[in-house]
C-alpha cells in the first residue's frame, strides 16, 4: 500500500535533458517508489492527490540561506517553503550559531544582527542559546523541521570560540590546532563544510572586522585540508571581489582553498550586466584556476531580482559605501543636519564613485515607497529622478528633502539596473556555464531590507509567462538536481524511484510570487519583508505534506542534513 499517489499531473522530474510528461507518482515510507504511466501504479494508495492541470516537480534546493536562527522559531523557514523550497543550506558566509561558549552569545547575536540584518530582539527571544557544540546545535533542530536543512560550519564561530575576545589577530600554532580540532568535531557531527568571509563589508556589532577576517591564509588552507577528511562536504567563501572583481590574490586563494579541500567552493553573488561582459569572464577565472589545482569554484547567481529597500533611518547597504557609515551612524537630528549640508553630500558622492556599489548612490533611480508625513503623500510610488527634474534639483538633494519630512523613516526602493533584453540574454548564457549555480537568495537574512527567497516561483513564472529565457524543465533542473548534486544531497533533487519524496505541485497558469509586503511577525514583533506564493498547491517533504493550498499542515518531516549520512560525493570532479 502506497502512502500517496499523485495522479494526473505533468511530471517534470528535475533531470536534464528531460521533457515534462503525464505520469503518476507513487510514494511510500518517505520515498518515491514509482513513476508510472497515468493510471498504471501497481499499488493502491492510502491517499490520492489529484494533480490534474498541475506540474509535479522535485522541491527546490536553496543553496545560500541564513536560516540558522529562524528555524528555531519557524520550522517552515518561511517564506522559502511557501515557494516550494524543500531543502536549504545555511551557515553561510562564515556565520553560524555554533560552536558557541555561553560568554559569546551576546557577541554572536549582535554580530548576526549587524552582518545578516536579523533583528536583535528576534535573536534574543526566538532561540534558547543552550547549545555549545555544533552537534548540540543540530540536535536542537532534529524533529522540529518542516523542510530539510543543512549547515556549513562558520569560521567566525570557530575563531571566537578558541580566541575569545582576543580574535583580532592571527592564531598561534597551538590555537590553530584547537581551531582545527573544533572544525573536525563539527564536521563529524554533520556540518556540511566550512564557510568563511574576508570581505571588508563584514563588521561585527562593535563595528570591528568579524573574526574570520583576521585569519591568515595558512589558517584557511589548514582548515580546508580538514574538510577533505569528511565525505559529502564543501566550502563557501566571501571575499571583497565577489561584489566587483576578484583581485589576482583572491582568485588564487579561492582556487587553492578548493584544491586543498578537494571539494567544490561556492561564492556569491555573481551580478550580470550587459555593459560589463568582461566581468563575467574575469570572475570565472577563479573557476578555471581551481580546475588547474584539482578544485572547483562555483559562482552563485540569481535568476530574478531580489526586492531590496533602503532607508536613511537605520542600517542598510548605503552604509557600505566608502565613508558613508561615518555620516550615517549617528542620531537622527545630527544625521539630518549632515545630510542637509551640500558640502557633506558632495563629499559622499565623490567617495561613492570609487566603490563597486556606486549604483546605490544613483538616487535618480529610486522609487519612493511608504511615506509617513502629509507632505510626502504626493511622492508615494514616484521616481526620485522625475521629482528632482521638476524641482530643478539634484536627486540626492531631493531624496534628502523627502526623507527629512518623515524623520528619515521613508522606505526607498532602488530600481534594478541591468534590466534590458541584452542583460537577460547574457544571464541566460551564463547560466549554461558548468561552474555557475542559480541561487544566492540570502533567505533568512537582511529581513527588513531584502527579499530574495521567492526566486523559485518568480523564476518559474518568468520562464512560463514572462521572458521565457529557458524551458520549464531546465528551470526546474537548475533549481533542484544541480544544487542537490553540488552539495551531494543523497537521493534528492529528482523525482525518480528511490529518491526522497520532496515534491512541489504548482499550477503553471498561475505560479508566481506577490510583490514584497512588510509583516511584523518575527519574535518581538519585529519587522520583515515577505512575498506570498501564487499557484503553489502542495509541498511534500520526505513523503509527507507540509503545505496544502498555502496552509501549513503542522507536519514536521524535515531532516537535519548531516554530512556523510545525508550527503556524499561532492568531489570536485563530479560532472554535472
Ligand atoms: Zn550570505
Q: What burial class does residue 249 get, using C-beta atoms within 10 Å of its C-beta: 0-12 exposed, 13-18 middle, 19+ buried? A: exposed
Residues 272, 308 contacting (CB under 8 angstroms): no
Q: What is the pTM of this model?
A: 0.93
The grid coordinates of residue 218 equal 595558512
* 93 CA → ligand 1 middle, Å: 5
Q: Kindly report, residue by residue over 264-315, the tens digit of the pLDDT.
A: 999 999 999 999 999 999 999 999 999 999 999 999 999 999 988 999 998 8
Burial of 520 (0-12, 13-18, 19+ CB in 10 A): exposed
Distance between Cα 88 and ligand 1 center (Å): 13
Gap between the terminal Cα atoms of the chain: 35
Q: Tell me how far the alpha carbon of residue 448 lies from the centroid of ligand 1, in angstroms.
A: 15
CA of 51 from ligand 1 middle (Å) equals: 36
Please identify every residue whose CB atom is under 5 Å from ligand 1, which is an ion: 92-93, 442
Q: How far apart are CA 222 and CA 113, in angstroms?
A: 29
Helix, strand, coil percent values for the chain (each to nearest 5) = 35, 20, 40
Q: How far is the CA of 268 from the centre of ligand 1 (A)?
A: 8
Using the mean position of ligand 1's atoms as its centre, give its distance from the Cα of residue 343 in Å.
35
| Distance of alpha carbon 184 from alpha carbon 153, whole angstroms | 10
pLDDT digits (tens, 9 = 90+) for 128-155: 999 999 999 999 999 999 999 999 999 9
Report how far residue 32's alpha carbon sits from residue 25's, in angstroms, rounded to the nearest whole number.
Answer: 7
What is the distance in A from the centroid of ligand 1 to the CA of 461?
25
Query: How far is ligand 1, taken at its centre, from the CA of residue 528, in Å?
Result: 17
Ligand 1 mean position, distance from CA 91 (Å): 8
Distance 459 CA to ligand 1 centre (A): 20
Q: How many angstroms separate the alpha carbon of residue 64 from the centre of ligand 1?
A: 6
Where are the strands (E) in 345-498, listed by range? Answer: 366-368, 412-414, 436-438, 450-451
Cα(96) to ligand 1 centroid in Å equals: 11
* Residue 211 CB-density burial (10 A; 0-12 exposed, 13-18 middle, 19+ buried): buried
What are the pLDDT tens digits along the chain (576 aa)?
999 999 999 999 999 878 999 999 999 999 999 999 999 999 999 999 999 999 999 999 999 999 999 999 999 999 999 999 999 999 999 999 999 999 999 999 999 999 999 999 999 999 999 999 999 999 999 999 999 999 999 999 999 999 999 999 999 999 999 999 999 999 999 999 999 999 988 999 999 999 999 999 999 999 999 999 999 999 999 999 998 899 999 999 999 999 999 999 999 999 999 999 999 999 999 999 999 999 999 999 999 999 889 999 988 889 989 999 999 999 999 999 999 999 999 999 999 998 888 889 999 999 999 899 999 999 999 999 999 999 999 999 999 999 999 999 999 999 988 999 999 999 999 999 999 999 999 999 999 889 999 999 999 999 999 999 999 999 999 999 999 999 999 999 999 999 999 999 999 999 999 988 889 999 999 999 999 999 999 999 999 999 999 899 999 999 999 999 999 988 786 444
- For residue 237, the CA-to-ligand 1 centroid distance in Å is 9
> Residue 94 C-alpha to ligand 1 middle, in angstroms?
9
d(CA 236, CA 198): 11
Amino acid at each position: 500500500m502506497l502512502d500517496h499517489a499523485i495522479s494526473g499531473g505533468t511530471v517534470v522530474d528535475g533531470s536534464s535533458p528531460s521533457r515534462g510528461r503525464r505520469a503518476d507518482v507513487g510514494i511510500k515510507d518517505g520515498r518515491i517508489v514509482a513513476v508510472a504511466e497515468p493510471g498504471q501504479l501497481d499499488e493502491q494508495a492510502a491517499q490520492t492527490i489529484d494533480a490534474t492541470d498541475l506540474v509535479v516537480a522535485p522541491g527546490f534546493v536553496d543553496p545560500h540561506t541564513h536560516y540558522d536562527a529562524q528555524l528555531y522559531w519557524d520550522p517552515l523557514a518561511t517564506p522559502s517553503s511557501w515557494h516550494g523550497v524543500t531543502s536549504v543550506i545555511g551557515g553561510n558566509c562564515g556565520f553560524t550559531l555554533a560552536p558557541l561558549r555561553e560568554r559569546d552569545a551576546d557577541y554572536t547575536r549582535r554580530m548576526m544582527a549587524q552582518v545578516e540584518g536579523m533583528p536583535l530582539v528576534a535573536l534574543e527571544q526566538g532561540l534558547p542559546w543552550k547549545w555549545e557544540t555544533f552537534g548540540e546545535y543540530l540536535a536542537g533542530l532534529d524533529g522540529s523541521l518542516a523542510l530539510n536543512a543543512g549547515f556549513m560550519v562558520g569560521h567566525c564561530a570557530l575563531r571566537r570560540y578558541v580566541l575569545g575576545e582576543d580574535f583580532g589577530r592571527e592564531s598561534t600554532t597551538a590555537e590553530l590546532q584547537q581551531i582545527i580540532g573544533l572544525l573536525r568535531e563539527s564536521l563529524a557531527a554533520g556540518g556540511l563544510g566550512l564557510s568563511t568571509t574576508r570581505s571588508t563589508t563584514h563588521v561585527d556589532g562593535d563595528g570591528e572586522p568579524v573574526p574570520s577576517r583576521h585569519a591568515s591564509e595558512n589558517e584557511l588552507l589548514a582548515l580546508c585540508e580538514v574538510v577533505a577528511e569528511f565525505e559529502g562536504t564543501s566550502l563557501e567563501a566571501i571575499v571583497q571581489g565577489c561584489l566587483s572583481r576578484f583581485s589576482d590574490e583572491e582568485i588564487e586563494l579561492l582556487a587553492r582553498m578548493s584544491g586543498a579541500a578537494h571539494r567544490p567552493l561556492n561564492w556569491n553573488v555573481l551580478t550580470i550586466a550587459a555593459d560589463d561582459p568582461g566581468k563575467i569572464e574575469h570572475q570565472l577565472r577563479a573557476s578555471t584556476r581551481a580546475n588547474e589545482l584539482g578544485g572547483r569554484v562555483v559562482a552563485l547567481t540569481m535568476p530574478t531580482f531580489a526586492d531590496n529597500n533602503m532607508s536613511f533611518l537605520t542600517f542598510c547597504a548605503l552604509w557600505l559605501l566608502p565613508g558613508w557609515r561615518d555620516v550615517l551612524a549617528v542620531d537622527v537630528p545630527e544625521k539630518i543636519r549632515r545630510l542637509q549640508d551640500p558640502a557633506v553630500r558632495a563629499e559622499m558622492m565623490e567617495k561613492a564613485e570609487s566603490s563597486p556599489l556606486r549604483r546605490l548612490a544613483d538616487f535618480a533611480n529610486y522609487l519612493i515607497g511608504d511615506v509617513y508625513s502629509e507632505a510626502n503623500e504626493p511622492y508615494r510610488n514616484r521616481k526620485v529622478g522625475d521629482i528632482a527634474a521638476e524641482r530643478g534639483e539634484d536627486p540626492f538633494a531631493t531624496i534628502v528633502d523627502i526623507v527629512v519630512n518623515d524623520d528619515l523613516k521613508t522606505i526607498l526602493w532602488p530600481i534594478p539596473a541591468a534590466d534590458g533584453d541584452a542583460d537577460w540574454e547574457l544571464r541566460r548564457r551564463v547560466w549554461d556555464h558548468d561552474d555557475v549555480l542559480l541561487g544566492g537568495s540570502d533567505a533568512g537574512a537582511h529581513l527588513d531590507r531584502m527579499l530574495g527567497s521567492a526566486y523559485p516561483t518568480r523564476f518559474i513564472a518568468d520562464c512560463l509567462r514572462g521572458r521565457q529565457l529557458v524551458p520549464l524543465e531546465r528551470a526546474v533542473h537548475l533549481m533542484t538536481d544541480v544544487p542537490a548534486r553540488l552539495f551531494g544531497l543523497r537521493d534528492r533533487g529528482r523525482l525518480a524511484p528511490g529518491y526522497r519524496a520532496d515534491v512541489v505541485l504548482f499550477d503553471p497558469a498561475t505560479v508566481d510570487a506577490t510583490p514584497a509586503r512588510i509583516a511584523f511577525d518575527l519574535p518581538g514583533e519585529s519587522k520583515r519583508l515577505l512575498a506570498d506564493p501564487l499557484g503553489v498547491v502542495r509541498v511534500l517533504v520526505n513523503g509527507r505534506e507540509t503545505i496544502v493550498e498555502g496552509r501549513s499542515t503542522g507536519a514536521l518531516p524535515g531532516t537535519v542534513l548531516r554530512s556523510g549520512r545525508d550527503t556524499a560525493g561532492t568531489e570536485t570532479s563530479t560532472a554535472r
